[in-house]
Chains A and B, each alone.
Chain A
């Protein structure tokens, strides 16, 4: 037991994902991979490793002819980090706080397109076909991936599918193909990918580092006692802190506690 949170070797995650993607490749649907946040990855491994990890991941996603979306909150990371990571992806999507406005910029090209242009009826500013396809694909995917799209600002980078792939890709999330793309999502052996603790951490990150315990229960569909047990374990490990507020608990991701709470991370360093 080290002092650092358990981090599985990158290939323990990439290999099964890659296998599953390859199995789905050519089944008539476009497979879409959404990595809900890069923040946790960047928090727990050094940047060099994270960069390699993302390169292999995007490569494998591309090799299986899938589309990948990788999300991060630019407010959490400095600009240079975001800019460095950009080089791994085909395009960067910036979504405004209210989710109403967005822009897509090619990483290795000059094209930028914004929500204004797409909505405009002026043919002069309408995007060329191929761009529209990419944009639409990304937008469709976003809508599917984020049911509550009023979430905080996301930088979304579409993985390295060739642009043409992305344009032809009817997003798996649209689900009006007669096929059952949504089942792909359910079929995926999620256990192979995410531990319950990872999932809770991701939820917390999505919620900006803190959320009500009741919301954890709601989001995960686990029972109240299961959630309580898991959170208590995580609190022991110093991954989160819980603070009683009124009749419920507020859960803070390590590093997001209010000033008065003692940093559980330091505590962990000492005791573990």
Chain B
């Protein structure tokens, strides 16, 4: 058991990822923190208000106990795409959960960036003719970055299973039919 934990030296998906663990049951929070602290930067919070204090843009994943008594609506509105529905009893399981969430986060930001670059490139193509594009430095850079990003996206998506991808398309305003 502990062996498999040791074999995971660092997050494969995102180096230096920061995880915020929120649970009002202190022993659980602390156990999770211990399981994760070798591989991630870990923050803990024992209440909803504390969670809000410790939450900033450097946090990549939040492990949140949704049944916490003082959980404010504010934190729920942040739109996390996964909660720990049941207590996790093994370090490896928790690692997998965190990695899954990191992959989703990574995919999310990569595809957003990809789409925004694709939009820019398309706008240039619409405005300029082939010769102008040829001479346009920004266009060359866009194309190059898109090609790189496309490969990265493909790598990220390879690690995502159907459930992960389903979450990608989850629309809180329209949760299923």
Please list the residues of chain A having a beta carbon within 8 angstroms of any beta carbon in chain B: 2, 6, 9-11, 14-15, 18, 48-49, 51-53, 55-56, 59, 62-63, 79-88, 108, 160
**In the complex the two chains form, is B115's CB within 8 Å of A79's CB?**
no
In the complex formed, the residue of A with least CB distance to B110 is: A55
Residues from chain B with a CB closer than 8 A to the CB of A14 are 162, 165
Of residues A79, A80, A82, which shows the largest number of chain B Cβ atoms within 10 Å of its Cβ? A80
- Cβ of B146 within 8 Å of any chain A Cβ, yes or no, is yes
Q: Which of B70-78, B84-92, B118-126 is found at the contact surface with chain A?
A: B118-126
Q: Are A52 and B126 in contact (CB under 8 A)?
A: no
Q: A6-B177, A108-B150 are in contact. Are A84 and B122 (CB under 8 A)?
A: yes
A11 touches B169 (CB 8 A): yes
How many pairs of A and B residues are in contact by the CB < 8 Å rule?
A: 73
Chain A residue with the shortest CB-CB distance to B119: A84
Q: Which residue in chain B gives the minimum CB-CB distance to A83?
A: B122
> Which A residues are CB-close (under 8 A) to B93?
none
Please give, as numbers and ranges, the residues of chain A lying within 8 Å of B27 by CB-CB distance: none
Q: Write the residues of chain B forming the contact surface with A, with a CB cutoff of 8 angstroms.
A: 111, 114-115, 117-119, 121-123, 125-126, 143, 146-147, 150, 153-154, 157-158, 162, 165-166, 168-169, 176-177
Q: Once the chains bind, are A56 and B168 in contact (CB under 8 Å)? A: yes
Q: Which residues of chain A are near B169, meaning CB under 8 Å?
A: 9-11, 49, 52-53
Nearest A residue to B171 by beta-carbon distance? A49
Chain B residues within 8 Å of A59, by CB: 153-154, 157-158
Tell me whether A160 and B154 are in contact (CB under 8 A). Answer: yes
The answer to whether A80 and B126 touch (CB under 8 A), given A11-B169, A51-B115, A55-B157, is yes
CA distance A173 to B146 in the complex (A): 32
- A81 and B119 CA atoms in complex are apart in Å by 8
Q: Which residues of B have CB within 8 Å of A53? A: 169
A45 to B118 CA separation, bound complex (whole angstroms): 18
From A48, A83, A108, B115 is in contact (CB under 8 Å) with A48
Contact of B114 with A87 in the complex, beta carbons under 8 Å: yes
Contact A11/B154 with A48-B115, A51-B115, A83-B125 known, Cβ cut-off 8 Å:
no
B165 touches A83 (CB 8 A): no
Give bound CA distance, A86 to B168, whole Å: 22
